[in-house]
Structure formats: structure tokens, C-alpha cells
Structure 1
Amino acid sequence: MGFMASRWRSAGHLDNLDEWGLGGRSFGTFVTWFLLGGDLYTAYTFIAVPAAMYATGAISGFFAVPYTIVAYPIVFVFMARLWSVSHRHGYVTPADFVTGRYGSKALSLAVAVTGILALMPYIALQLVGMQAVFETMGLGGSNTLAKDLPLLIAFAVLAAYTYSSGLRAPAMIAFVKDFLIYVVILVAIFYLPHVLGGWDSIFGAAQEKMAKTNPATGKPTGSFIPGNAGYVSYWTLGLGSAMALFMYPHSVTAVLSTKTRNVVRRNAAILPAYSLLLGLLALLGFMAIKANVNVKGLDGLANPQLAIPRLFDQEFPSWFAGIAFAAIAVGALVPAAIMSIAAANLFTRNIYRAFIKPSASPAEEAKVSKLASLLVKVGALVFVLAMDKTIALNLQLLGGIWILQTFPAIVVGLYTRWFHRYALLTGWAVAMVFGTISAYNVVNPATKKHFGGSLANIPGTNTPAYIALTAFVLNLLIVIVLTFVFRALKVPDGQDTTHPTDYLADRGDPGVKDLPEILDDGGAATAKS
């Protein structure tokens, strides 16, 4: 399906970013619902969240449910404005918007680099999910090459169909992915409690495990229900993740592929249906505790990411376990493809064309983006092989620490240009350094590896909070203060090439309806009068 998708809904050759990277900007409500579902509900949902629930309980896993609920009102408010200005000016990436809004290539480069960097661990998380399925199936071995070979094969298939078909490939496969996932979860949520002795027994086993002392830390294993000390951690993880979700370039890519701004708003209203699915998926972690699954990998080490595949393998008939494994693997391949396309678009538009070859034609842009999508996946493999994967959820949370620092430039910029471009750049730089160092200093007590978590004490307190939100507050304070300073000193603020009417434009308005047909040789859109 991935390879056949190159001819699906195609208006021409895939030789420009509008066609290859945004699917021709032609997707309606139905396709977009599946595409965004495939984009946002990933191996994070199917593997990482229930694995975190299995390992340490509610604080590290169940915050994902309220976070996805909070995210959609945020999307409803601002994403339609980003759609409008992007379609009026031919923007392909959020960094394109930053260039037009602030007239700053440096700030645009910062947003682009941050987007690419944040997507690396997120793509890595998808590969970790596939690896868990392969290992449960017995594919791989104890040595590094044998263990990673199935993953490398899956990576090659993903790279090939992404290269050939662009965004249409994951959009088409998303239909299959969502169907499989819904079937598996509906069966699991009714069948597994029956064979495991009921919900009371499942929650009782989870509560008992979380109360036990972890030998590595001398503290309880986790939290069945967060106590007072965990409140701040829980709500900062939820709010920070919600604010970061649609800052990710792959989320923006899926939104910009739609054909009208109302498609964006309708999907923001109906996508919370997936949050019910997420809540049910999270509870599979507690079911794995009750089922007493063996999470030791082929290398002999404990790996919580194996909890759900092993649960399916142990409790389901073999034929249905195979369907469940397919659902998880496809559920990882779809978002990984979209993420690699989004990162490639950022590199092509905001690094290659902006700094290396400004005269690049649309066809050359598409070619560079295809090649960049391959390199992005290689970078993700580095994260898979090098990072601590004990709690794979931390890979996504690490990306959130970085990507949330683009929020002031993008979201606030959709409504006001009061923030000074140099203030935004300074705030971003300080927050990125602070967030990265804070995350590096979190050491997993079991593996002794850095980047072992995403919670750290708020400076000057003993209260742990999500590092992304702490860094964001620091970022915002710096931006506000320095904006006053730069404006008082009358430092030049760059040229804004957008117009207030751009933020409300819709399909059929001048410069929007025929956007793919009116691209000039440099790839920029020219508005019709």
C-alpha cells in the first residue's frame, strides 16, 4: 500500500514539496482524521504508555490521557490560523512561517533545527515499538547485530516507501492501522479482564506491585494513584505535553495537508475519540502486571517495552496475537513515515534552500527532501542504539522538552508580533541549554544512564516537574523582559511579510484556491489579486 500510494489522489508528479511532502494539500475531514490519528497515536500509545504504567504506574503513564484531551482545544484555537497563513504564502513548515512573520533567518533556523532534533527520539520510539514486537516473535538474538537486524529491515522498507510516495503512503496505510488497532483494543478490553479474573483483580495486582520497594532506589516501585507529592509532576507532564503536541513538525505537516481550514477545526473536535482508545490502552499495562508476563529480553535484561507484546502472546490465541503484533508494527510505521517527511521538509526548506542553495527549484527541493528523509531515519537509529530505553516514554518526553521552546515564536506569533525576534532567539537558546542539561542530569537508578527521565526539581524547590514546562516558563520570562529592552533601544525588528487577512484566509480566497498551480520557480506562492 505504501508503494501504491504514489498514484493515490495524485494531481501530478511528486516533484515538489506540496505534492510529496503535503499530499497535494488535498485531504478532507475523513482522510485527515485517519492521518492525524496515525500521526499522533503511535508506538508511544501502543507500547510506551502501557509499558510506563506497567513499570511505575500512573504518574509516568496515565498523564497521557488528560494531555490528549487538553491538546485539542489548543489546536482548535490556533491551528486554523496557521493553516490559513501557510496556504496563502505557500509555507510548508512552521519555520517557513517564522521566516515570514519575523524576517529572521536565524530564528527560522533555530525552529527548524529544534524540530529535526525533537523528532529524532520520537522516531526512535516508533522503532523501539517495532523492536519489542520482533523480539516477542523471537526474531533477533542476544548479540547486537542479530537483535537489531529485523529492525533494520523494517527501517529499510519504511525508508523506501516514504521516499517513493511521500505523505500519501502513511495517509493510505493509516486506514489499515486504525482498523487493526480498534479491533485489537476492543477485543483486549473485553476478553483480557475475563481471563484475568476481572478488573478488581487487575487493579489489586497493580496496586500491590507499585507499593513494593524498588531495590535500586529503596523507594516504592511506583504510584498506583499519585499522592500529594506527585500532583505537580502529573499536571506539568500533562500540560507541557499538550502544549508541545502540535508544535511537532509532523503534526503541522498533517494539518497543512488538509484542503480547508474547517477540516482542521472539525478534526480538533472529533479527534478526542482517540483519547478513549488511549485510556483503554494504558490499562493494558496493569493487565500485564496481573498476567505476570515475563519482560526479560533475548539479552537477558528486563525490558518493560515487552510487556504488551508478551501479554498478547501469552493470553491471546496465536492467530489473534499475530493480528495484534501487526497492529503495533503498522502503528509505528505510519507515524515514523510522517515524522521523517516533516523533518526532511524542515531541512530542505529552512536549511538547504535558506542557506545552501536559495535558487533551488521545486523539483530539486523534492529530491533533497526525499534524501533527507532517509538520513533522518538513520539519526533516529542512533537514538535507538545509544539512548536508555528502559522507559521508552522518556524518548517522547525528551523531544517535548525541546519542541515546546518553539511555542512563543509560532503560537504567540499567530496573534501578535510584539515579541522581538532577538528576544525570541535568546529565550529559545537559554531554554534549550537549560532543558537539555536538566534532562541529561536525570540518571536512571537501574541502568545508571543519563537522560533517564524528564522530571527534575523546579529551581530553588524540592518539587519535581516536567522539565519542558520549567524551561518554557524560563523561555517566556526572558522573551518578555528582552522584548522591552530591545524595543526601548529601538533595535530593528525585521520585516513582517504577512497581512492580518492572511490568518483568516480559506480555500477559494485569493492566493489559496489554486496554490499548487501558482508556485514560482523558487517554490514561493504568489497571491492572486
Structure 2
Amino acid sequence: MNAVSFTVFLLFFLAVTGVGFFAARWRRPENALHLDEWGLGGRGFGTVVSWFLLGGDLYTAYTFIAVPAAIYGMGASGFFAVPYTIIAWPLVFLFLPRLWSVARSRGYVTLADFARGRFGSRYLALAVALTGILATMPYIALQLVGIQAVLDTMGVGGSSGWSKDLPLLIAFAVLAAYTYSSGLRAPALIAFVKDTLVYVVVIVAVIYIPIRLGGYGHIFHDAAASLAQTNPATGQPKGSLIPGPKAQWSYATLAVGSAMALFMYPHSATGVLAAKDRNTVRRNLAIMPAYSLMLGLLSLLGFMALSAGIGKGVKGYNTQLAVPQLFQQMFPSWFAGVAFAAIGIGALVPAAIMSIAASNLFTRNVYREFIKPAATPAEETRVAKIVSLLVKLGALGFVLGIDKQFSIQLQLLGGIWILQTFPTVVSGLIGWGKHRSRWFHRWALLAGWAAGMAYGTYKAFGIPAPGKPGSHFGGSNAAIPGIGQLGYIGVTAFVLNLAVAAVLTLVLRALKQTDLPDETSPADYLTEAAPPSALTTSGAPLAP
């Protein structure tokens, strides 16, 4: 174990832990036992806090570990993450301000709350809630994979068994403790530290490492040569600097599907709904592309790891270790510790937000809707705190049960599922007219969701990890029916979902099936700030 790196890492970890517990006292509300306070930070975050929170929420261990690892293992195909974040911002600008407005007007805490109010169907809301919880678990697992990669690189823990997993379990316990105590305020404050560290490490890495490796021309030459070598597990070249003709459908559908799925995730919506007004949402969506630039630079670390010979000649090399080992090899020990801290904290912040968002879904749309409709706000908050712990335990199950060789599959697996909620949420947010506002029938949307979920899960289950016959959930691409090219399963499932919903809506309309009442009004979608009559003494809106 490198004592210097570990000491620096530990100091940062202890510092953010202290910040996490201090957050319970930051902007202390009059009534902390309210889901608007614990789960949405009092809905009072301004532009700066919201920008750091959304950045800390969306740019995760996926950014530092999974994307460069995919590029290290496959080449340019892993760059799909860069165009997807570029596509996402103008796309979500069309509907996220409207989501904030209607949620503020009606006191919605989750996307499932919105589905319940818009379509009048608690079963459609249940489908959105359960999908959000399910899709969040592998995403939290990806954060734990990032922490584990850093700990393994530093040589912390034993070689196998409990001693190997103990440091990860300790980090998990600390995360669980301050999330339970402080709610969304904890990751909001820690995000300042996390994002600052990330930017510092990225800027230093893209300047300092190429200097040591002989420049970018040398890096790309080495990466091309390494990717052209045959992968013993598949008998095919490992990858290429440019996606080949057979990979273009896969690249495009991964980018488009991931962009559509991004703000369907519960944690993404939570970060938006915590903003204090609609203008804060608009401003943040306008400046969030700064993180896309950072992601593009980070992606180059995969090529740098190939050029540096990281993992070269190691049979069955774990690609998720590529970036941490690159930092260990290239940086002085003290700065390697800073880089490891950026990765570790970059995993803790989104993991906290994700567990909070998933617990909000369970509490509002399962517990209160189906188990105890008369639950008080204080009881809701207590249940949410407990569920946030259980969600993290579920994520640990994903870490233990799925091959982590390409940890990016954890995120893409969740994307397949969460994309199936897109028709319900977005169709409810666009347009107001009698026919435009709710053209889809609630039962048709539910049937489409079921078809997309079943198809996507079945296809993903049948894909083995490369070189491991008989394994499952080892990839996210399959042949597109009618086209024959490989494409992202999530998009194919989404098209099936949309087709079933559209056809069944026409059938139900022909049978004169009526809609349930819509509790929202056109004015709700234009709210700029919470009306005074809707506020509690803490400044947060009352739940409906």
C-alpha cells in the first residue's frame, strides 16, 4: 500500500464525511421530518448549488471509471457518452422547466407523483416508481464499483473474502449514515468538493500525462496498435479508433437512448425539483454542457492507459482498474491520492442522491399510495430514510452478482429499464390541448411499459459477458428486428413500447374508454415560483 496516496485519500474522505454530517445543520428547517426537506433539500437551492448538485449527480464514477474503461477495452465505441450528453441538454430543456413548474404547483416529489396526477392512475405511477427503483440499483452499484477500484489500486484490504470487501463496506456504512442524517443537503454540500477536485484532476491529467507519454500523437498511435490486437476471448480485434460500419448503429442508438433516459432517472429529477425557481432550472440546463467538455477530456484517459501499457500482458485484466492504475503510475504519490479522492467522492455524491431519490419513490408511490394512505409527513420521512439504506444494500447485490469487467454495463442495464418510462412522463409534459395533452390512454401506456420492460430484460439477460459463455447481463446491444444491425436494446424496447401504447390507445379510443380526471391545469406548467399559499413554514410547498 502506498502510504502517501492512502493518507491523502483518507484525509479527503474524512473531510467530506464531516461535511455530510454538518449538512444536517445547513439551512436547518423548522420541520426536518418532511419529505420536501429531507428528500428535496427544502426545494430552495439556487443556481450555484443546483449546478454543483446536478453536476455531482450526473457525472459520477461512471465518468471516471466506466467510460474510460470502455474506451480502454473497445476503443472509440466508448465515446458514445460524449454525444449523448451533448444531445441531452437541448432535449431536456424542452420539458424539464415544465416539470419543475407542475411539481412546484402540486407538491410533487417524484416523476411517479406527476404520472399519478396527470393520468389519474396509481398503477401507472406504481410502474414508473418501481422502474425507477430497479434502474437506480445498478447505477448505485456502479458507484460502489468505482470506490472498490480505487481501494484495490491503493492496495487497501486483503486479497480475497471479507478482508477484501471490508474497506468498501466501511465506505458504504459512512455513506449510509450521513445520507440518513442529512438527506439531500449532504450531497449538495459535498458536490462542491467533488466537482472542484474533478476539474483539477482532469485539467492536470490532460496536460501532464501526455507530456510524460510523448504527446497525443504518440498516445493515439499506441492506442491504435493496442486495439488492433486480437482479443483471445472473442477472436476479434479489441476495438478501433473509429467505429466500424457494424458498430455505427450501436453507437448511434446508445447515444440517443442514453440521452432520452438521462432525466428519467429518479436522481436526475430530484436534482431538478430541488431548485428554488424555474429560472434556476433554465440557467443550469444552459451551463451544464461545461460538464460535457470535461467528459470528453476524461474519455481520453482510456487511450492514455493503453499508451502507458496499463494492464498489458495481464490475462483477464479488469478494465475498471485502468484509470486508477494510470494515475498511480503517472502522478506523484500525493497527487495520485488527490485523484483517487476525486473518484471516491465522485462516487459517494451520486450514490447518496440516487438512494434518496429511490426512497422518495417508494415512500410516496408505494408506501403512501398502497400501504398507508394516511401516513403523516414525519412518518413518510422516517420510511424514506430506512428505504434509502435498503436501496444501497440492493446495489451491493448488483455488485456481487454481475460481472464488473465492463462496469459501464451496469449503467446501460438501468438505462434499458428507465427508458420505458419516457412515453408516460414526456407525453404528459408536452402540450395542453384536450387531445394533445393526454392522447395516450393510461392502460395503453401501462401495456407499452410492460412490453418494453419484458423485451428489454429478456434480451439483456440472454447476452453473456465476453469470453464467459453461460453468463448473463453481459452487454446491452442486440440485433434490431427488421434491420439486422446491432443496436442498443433500450431503444428497440422503447420503440416496441411506443408502438404498443399507440395502437392500444387507438383501440381504447374506438371502444369509447374514458380517461380519469387530470388534477393538473395549464397554469401549473407555467409557474415561475411557488405561490405563497402553497408554502409551509419551512418554505417548501405542501404536498397535495
Give the structure-1-normalised TM-score: 0.96
Label 1:516 to 1:487 Cα distance change in 2 as closer, same or farther (>3 A). farther
The residue aligned with 2:194 is 177
Give the alignment's Cα RMSD to 1 decimal.
1.5
Query: SS in structure 1 opposite 2:36?
Result: helix
The residue aligned with 1:165 is 182
Q: Report the AA paired with residue 399 of structure 1.
A: G
Residues 262-303 of structure 1: CA deviation (Å, up to 9, x unaligned): 111111100000111001100001000111113899xx8521
Q: Give the Cα separation in 1 of the matches to 2:312 and 2:368.
A: 47
Shift of 1:493: 1.9
The residue aligned with 2:380 is 365
Indicate whether 1:32 and 2:50 are aligned: yes
Q: Give the Cα separation in 2 of the matches to 1:13 and 1:189.
A: 46
4+ long deviations beyond 6 Å: none
Q: Report the AA paired with residue 521 of structure 2.
A: H
Residues 47-70 of structure 1: CA deviation (Å, up to 9, x unaligned): 0000111111111x1110010011
Match of residue 95, structure 1, among 112, 117, 121: 112
Partners of 1:100 and 1:496 within 8 A in 2: yes
Match of residue 198, structure 1, among 202, 209, 215: 215
Q: Give the Cα separation in 2 of the matches to 1:447 and 1:317.
A: 37
Query: SS in structure 1 opposite 2:95?
Result: helix
Indicate whether 1:494 and 2:512 are aligned: no
Indicate whether 1:229 and 2:246 are aligned: yes
Shift of 1:394: 0.6
Partners of 1:18 and 1:516 within 8 A in 2: no
Indicate whether 1:7 and 2:12 are aligned: no
Partners of 1:505 and 1:512 within 8 A in 2: no
Indicate whether 1:336 and 2:351 are aligned: yes
Q: Report the AA paired with residue 434 of structure 1.
A: Y
How many residues are aligned here? 519
Shift of 1:514: 5.5
Query: SS in structure 2 opposite 1:3?
Result: helix
The residue aligned with 1:220 is 237
Q: Report the AA paired with residue 369 of structure 1.
A: A
Shift of 1:211: 1.2
Q: Give the Cα separation in 2 of the matches to 1:515 and 1:423.
A: 41
Moved more, 301-310 or 34-43: 301-310
The residue aligned with 1:148 is 165
Residues 65-85 of structure 1: CA deviation (Å, up to 9, x unaligned): 010011011121100101011
Partners of 2:30 and 2:537 within 8 A in 1: no
Mapping of 1:444-455 within 5 angstroms?
A: 444-448=465-469, 449-455=471-477
The residue aligned with 1:137 is 154
Residues 150-171 of structure 1: CA deviation (Å, up to 9, x unaligned): 1100000000000000000000
Indicate whether 1:433 and 2:448 are aligned: no
Shift of 1:517: 5.7
Label 1:490 to 1:370 Cα distance change in 2 as closer, same or farther (>3 A). same
Query: SS in structure 2 opposite 1:456?
Result: strand
Shift of 1:494: 1.4
Moved more, 29-38 or 503-512: 503-512
Q: Give the Cα separation in 1 of the matches to 2:427 and 2:452.
A: 17
Query: SS in structure 2 opposite 1:2?
Result: helix
Query: SS in structure 2 opposite 1:33?
Result: helix
Shift of 1:216: 1.2
Unaligned runs of 5+ in 1: none
Indicate whether 1:279 and 2:296 are aligned: yes
Label 1:295 to 1:79 Cα distance change in 2 as closer, same or farther (>3 A). farther
Q: Give the Cα separation in 2 of the matches to 1:195 and 1:168.
A: 40
Indicate whether 1:472 and 2:491 are aligned: no
Indicate whether 1:68 and 2:85 are aligned: yes
Partners of 2:462 and 2:473 within 8 A in 1: yes
Partners of 1:90 and 1:515 within 8 A in 2: no
Match of residue 402, structure 1, among 388, 408, 417: 417
Shift of 1:106: 0.7
Match of residue 442, structure 1, among 448, 463, 474: 463
Partners of 1:341 and 1:369 within 8 A in 2: yes
Label 1:232 to 1:515 Cα distance change in 2 as closer, same or farther (>3 A). farther
Residues 319-360 of structure 1: CA deviation (Å, up to 9, x unaligned): 000000001000000000000000000000000000000000
Label 1:515 to 1:94 Cα distance change in 2 as closer, same or farther (>3 A). farther
Q: Give the Cα separation in 1 of the matches to 2:459 and 2:376.
A: 42
Residues 230-285 of structure 1: CA deviation (Å, up to 9, x unaligned): 11111110000000000000000000000001111111100000111001100001
Partners of 2:69 and 2:320 within 8 A in 1: yes
Mapping of 1:42-81 within 5 angstroms?
A: 42-59=60-77, 61-81=78-98
Residues 406-432 of structure 1: CA deviation (Å, up to 9, x unaligned): 001001111221100000000000100
Unaligned runs of 5+ in 2: 1-18, 431-436
Partners of 2:31 and 2:538 within 8 A in 1: no
Shift of 1:228: 1.7
Partners of 1:93 and 1:253 within 8 A in 2: yes
Label 1:410 to 1:185 Cα distance change in 2 as closer, same or farther (>3 A). same
Indicate whether 1:524 and 2:540 are aligned: no
Q: Give the Cα separation in 2 of the matches to 1:202 and 1:428.
A: 45
Partners of 1:305 and 1:391 within 8 A in 2: yes
Label 1:518 to 1:381 Cα distance change in 2 as closer, same or farther (>3 A). closer
The residue aligned with 1:109 is 126
Shift of 1:214: 1.1
Shift of 1:510: 6.0
Q: Give the Cα separation in 1 of the matches to 2:467 and 2:326.
A: 23
The residue aligned with 2:443 is 422
The residue aligned with 1:83 is 100
Q: Report the AA paired with residue 108 of structure 1.
A: A
Q: Give the Cα separation in 1 of the matches to 2:142 and 2:543.
A: 34
Match of residue 351, structure 1, among 341, 357, 366: 366
Query: SS in structure 2 opposite 1:411?
Result: helix
Q: Report the AA paired with residue 47 of structure 1.
A: I
The residue aligned with 1:268 is 285
Label 1:461 to 1:75 Cα distance change in 2 as closer, same or farther (>3 A). closer
Q: Give the Cα separation in 1 of the matches to 2:273 and 2:263.
A: 12
Label 1:417 to 1:286 Cα distance change in 2 as closer, same or farther (>3 A). same
Match of residue 225, structure 2, among 197, 204, 208: 208
Match of residue 388, structure 1, among 400, 403, 412: 403
Shift of 1:141: 2.7
Partners of 1:170 and 1:337 within 8 A in 2: yes
Query: SS in structure 2 opposite 1:242?
Result: helix
The residue aligned with 2:319 is 304
Q: Give the Cα separation in 2 of the matches to 1:467 and 1:111.
A: 19
The residue aligned with 2:36 is 18
Moved more, 20-29 or 439-448: 439-448
Identity across the alignment (%): 65
Residues 482-525 of structure 1: CA deviation (Å, up to 9, x unaligned): 00101111123212111111111121546556696686xxx623
Q: Report the AA paired with residue 329 of structure 2.
A: Q
Residues 363-407 of structure 1: CA deviation (Å, up to 9, x unaligned): 000000000000000000000000011100010000000000000
Partners of 2:138 and 2:398 within 8 A in 1: yes
Shift of 1:441: 1.0
Give the structure-2-normalised TM-score: 0.93
Q: Report the AA paired with residue 23 of structure 1.
A: G
